[in-house]
Amino acid sequence: MARDILLHIGRAKTGTSSIQEVLANSEAALAAHGWRYASAARRGSSHRYAAVYFSNQKRLAFDPAVLQQQVDALAAELASTDQNTIISGEGFQNAARPEKIAPVIPPERTQVLVYLREQYVWAQSTYAQKVKATEYNEDFETYLQTADPRYEVMLQRWRRGFNPAQLTARLYDRACLAGGDVIDDFLGVIGLDRTGMAPSQGDKNPSIGGPLLELKRRLNTVPGFASLRAVPRIYRAWLDLAASDPRMRQRPWAPTPVVEAYRSRFVDSNSRVDQDLLGAEAGLSAAARRARDLVVAAPDVADVGSAWDALASLRPEAAESIRAVVEAAAKDGHAEALGLSQIVLR
């Protein structure tokens, strides 16, 4: 009863959530073509339980018994199904020893699929996400000093530990994706198209940028602001404003010499990845060359007042909670809070 398996391992910020959402809502369409999106080990639309189990990342946040139960259920499902199966979780990319996955997901039956994003563009996206979702408050140039996605290392780990002949890498770049869309591209890997598939609901987690990103970065330094991070209406406020105003989605910016120095760190390893897996025109080196041709103006990050005014107008209840935290910190003499108080308390 052994059938084929497609194991999608990310990477982060390459449309993974959109792919998973479509797959999770397209059971009938997939079944019509002999495929299924595995039901075991899922949390939401992602096979997060299995990804966390094998990556060892964030395992402390889960009950070990639950993780084991979910992984055992996935193994049983793969052993019993008469359909080809898709498994997707970007946490799989962090598996230190992919060979440990083999007892659950048999390598001889499995094609591993990973999407890679040109490193500087990836850094822009991950920086914005980190500032938005955590208390991280360093500026973008400081972040670039430690952002070091050397894909070659991760790919070698999977080649050594899993099935080297069954590793497929694709470039997350509209110029190279089938139809310019990652969902179309993903389905094409297994010979399918959008016919009968559930529609994508769009980006439910838009990146924040421009003055909104700078506002959030500065707020992250304020004592007490971290307590608001888990409040849904606060997090939703950032997303809603970013979705409604393109200025609030402008990507983080760095001077050209800084960008070129950052990209130079990956030239040799990217060349080897291109040669081994991606090809010259659909590779990381070509993506970097295309990006250099784009003239991108620095966003007006200093205008945090406009971001605050827009946020307060769109989500006044969220603004009120933020205002109270800033006011309390300013009364205690916190320097950043004193500066922000001139904006949020006016």
- The arithmetic mean of pLDDT across residues 294-313, rounded, is 81
Would the pLDDT of 276 be above 60?
yes
Helices and strands in the chain, H and E counts: 16, 5
Check residue 56 and give its pLDDT: 65
Would the pLDDT of 338 be above 90?
yes
Check residue 286 and give its pLDDT: 93
Q: Closest Cα to residue 291, out of 124, 177, 131? A: 124
Check residue 295 and give its pLDDT: 58
Query: 143 in helix, strand or coil?
Result: helix
**Over the stretch 11-64, which tens digit does the pLDDT of each residue have?**
989 999 999 999 999 999 999 999 999 999 999 999 999 999 998 666 667 899
Would the pLDDT of 160 be above 80?
yes
CA distance 216 to 208: 9
CA distance 114 to 188: 14
**Over the stretch 107-136, which tens digit does the pLDDT of each residue have?**
999 999 999 999 999 999 999 999 999 999
Query: 237 in helix, strand or coil?
Result: helix
DSSP 26-83: -HHHHHHTTEEE--TT-BTTB-HHHHHHHH-TTGGGS-HHHHHHHHHHHHHHHHH-SS
Pick the residue with more confidence: 230 or 324?
324
Check residue 1 and give its pLDDT: 44
Confidence of residue 292 (pLDDT cuts 50, 70, 90): confident
Structure tokens at 85: 């199966």
**Contact predicate 289/304, CB 8 Å:** no
- The arithmetic mean of pLDDT across residues 210-233, rounded, is 92
Check residue 204 and give its pLDDT: 66
Instruction: Give the pairing type, strands 5-8 and 84-88.
Output: parallel
- The arithmetic mean of pLDDT across residues 150-157, rounded, is 94
Check residue 282 and give its pLDDT: 87
Would the pLDDT of 205 be above 80?
no
Check residue 168 and give its pLDDT: 95
The whole-chain average pLDDT of the chain stands at 92
Q: What is the 3-state secondary structure (H, E, C) of 264-322?
A: HCCHHHHHHHHHHHHCCCCCHHHHHHHHHCCCCCCCCCCCHHHHHHHHHHHCHHHHHHH
φ/ψ (deg, to 5) at 58: 65, 20
Would the pLDDT of 73 be above 80?
yes
Would the pLDDT of 159 be above 80?
yes
Check residue 164 and give its pLDDT: 81
Asked which of 54-68, 152-166, 277-291 is least confident by mean pLDDT, the reply is 54-68
Residues making up the chain, counted from first to last: 346
- The arithmetic mean of pLDDT across residues 257-265, rounded, is 95
Helix H or strand E encompassing 326: helix 316-331
